[in-house]
Amino acid sequence: MTNITLDNITQAVINHGDGGQSHPRLYEIYTSLVTHLHTFVREVNLTEQELQLGRDFLNRASHYTQEIPSGEIHMLTDLLGISELVELLHDINRGTATESNLEGPLYVPDAPKRQMGDRLGVDQAGDRLLLSGYVLDLNGQPIPDALIEVWQSNSQGLYDLQDPSQPQGNFRGCFRTKADGKYEFETVVPQGYNVPASGPSGEVLRLLGRHTWRAAHIHFKLSAAGYSPLITQIFIDGDSHIDSDTTFSVKSAIVKLQKHERPEELFAHNQNKPFYTTEFNFVLQPTASETSRVEHLTLLKQAGG
Ligand SMILES: [Fe+2]
């Protein structure tokens, strides 16, 4: 095409191909992305210097660093609210089932298998937390043989992957419910943490006056035969960043902690210092998916069941 102008360049880019005949969905996404990017460039009247800054930013964000071994692109989508927006778009038909949430970059498959009531981490530092609840269906009936994978930061806000002083698998675990659908384990009250901010994403956040804190939370991944898998997070009420989590992922799954410090409470729970308790029930949606059933049976087999 010749005679490219401000008026025809966007359509020229969109038309430069087979019009989506080969890959309709890709073409749909591409067309919309090009349209919005061109609109953005016009709207802010982007200069050549600013465009080069943007190129350099994306180039640096995609590089591997020690702080973020996979590069910053995943984190960038979290920080821009895009990851949570995608969650929200596809979690609208859950009804009374538990809300889904971001998996985040620190999930590790094959978490240590643990028995109900076990301690999740070896650290003695921090406030102890006894977390319990049930895995239920939409009718409030318990779901047996559900697998619950848990991962969280320690009392210093660090995951095992980020902290050489923690043993591998610390504050991670995989539990399996029995007939009553109940789960319970002992852990520490997680602390909020800063997302890695030494790279280009952190630079931009600082220039925008944005902080890098995530509110304290615990990650969960649940699966059960006949139910849709659930990835979610629960947040600790009262955390100083509960209203301003930098990934915009705090929704309604917020738990209040109850403190116990009377001698008879310590004795009853076999604790030697004040501790906290809280409860959270997970509600799973049924699925007719054969794939989900087979995947769960594979996980059960790996878990020794
Ligand atoms: Fe996390």
Average of per-residue pLDDT values in the chain: 91
What is the 43 CA–ligand 1 centroid distance (Å)? 36
**Active-site hit among 134, 159, 183, 227:** 159
Q: Cβ distance 218 to 234 under 8 Å?
A: yes
Q: What separation in Å is there between the alpha carbon of 191 and the centre of ligand 1?
A: 10
DSSP category for residue 273: S
On whether residue 251 sits in a domain, the answer given is yes
d(CA 252, CA 257) in angstroms, rounded, equals 15
3-state secondary structure of 145: coil
Classify 252 in phi/psi space as left (phi over 0), alpha (psi -120 to 50) or beta.
alpha
Q: How confident is the model at residue 66, as a pLDDT?
A: 66
Assess if residue 52 is contained within a domain.
no
Residue 62 lies in a domain: no
In a domain, 84, yes or no: yes
- Domain membership of residue 68 (yes or no) is no
- Residue in 85, 83, 79, 84 with CA at minimum distance from that of residue 210: 79
**Domain match, 295 and 164 both:** yes
Distance CA 252, CA 229 (A): 19
**128, 172, 219, 241: the active-site residue:** 219
pLDDT-based confidence at residue 300 (cuts at 50, 70, 90): low
Phi, psi of 120 (to 5 degrees): -80, -35
Q: Are residues 117 and 37 in the same domain?
A: no
What is the CA(158)–ligand 1 centre distance, in A?
Answer: 9
Ligand 1 centroid–CA 183 distance in Å is 21
Q: Which two tokens stand for residue 190?
A: 């997680």
Whether residues 83 and 26 fall in one domain: no
Q: Could you tell me if residue 116 is inside a domain?
A: yes
Asked whether the beta carbons of 191 and 155 are under 8 A apart, the reply is: yes
Asked, for residue 23, whether it belongs to a domain, the answer is yes
Q: Are residues 21 and 90 in the same domain?
A: no
Q: Write down the catalytic residue from 114, 172, 183, 193.
A: 193
Question: Domain tally for the chain?
Answer: 2
Task: Tell me what pLDDT residue 152 has.
Answer: 95
* Ligand 1 centroid – CA 107 distance (Å): 9
In angstroms, what is the span from residue 128 Cα to ligand 1's centroid? 18
Same-domain pairing of 85 and 229? yes
Cα 214 to averaged position of ligand 1 atoms, centre (Å): 8
Is 260 a residue of the active site? no
Q: What's the CA-to-centroid distance between 20 and ligand 1, angstroms?
A: 39
For range 250-271, the mean pLDDT: 92
Which tens digits make up the pLDDT trace of 189-199?
999 999 989 99
For residues 30 and 154, state if they share a domain. Answer: no
55 is catalytic: no
Q: Which domain holds residue 208?
A: 73-302
How far apart are alpha carbons 119 and 152 in whole angstroms? 13
Q: Are residues 106 and 236 in the same domain?
A: yes
End-to-end CA distance of the chain: 63
Is residue 117 located within the same domain as residue 214?
A: yes
Is there a single domain that holds both residue 120 and residue 248? yes
Same domain, 248 and 297: yes
Give the pLDDT mean for 159-187. 93
- Residue 162 corresponds to which amino acid? Q
Reduce the DSSP state of residue 152 to 3 states and report it. Answer: strand
Catalytic annotation, pick one of 176, 214, 241, 296: 214
**Residue 302 structure tokens:** 């790996």
38: CA distance to ligand 1 center in Å? 35
Percentage of the chain modeled with pLDDT above 90: 75
- Domain shared by 84 and 226, yes or no: yes
Q: Does 58 map to a domain?
A: no
DSSP 154-189: -TTS--GGG-TTSPTTTTEEEEE--TT-EEEEEEE-
Residues in Cβ contact with 247 at an 8 Å cutoff, skipping those fewer than 6 apart: 78, 79, 81, 83, 84, 102, 195, 214
Q: What is the pLDDT of residue 68?
A: 75
pLDDT tens for 197-228 read 999 999 999 999 999 999 999 999 999 999 99
Which is catalytic among the residues 128, 172, 176, 217?
217
Residue 292 pLDDT: 55
What is the helix (H) or strand (E) element at residue 40, kind and residue range? helix 24-44
Q: Is the pLDDT of residue 278 over 90?
A: yes
Same domain, 27 and 101: no
CATH number reported for the structural domain that contains residue 255 in this entry:
2.60.130.10
> Is 193 tagged catalytic?
yes
Is residue 159 part of the annotated active site? The answer reads yes
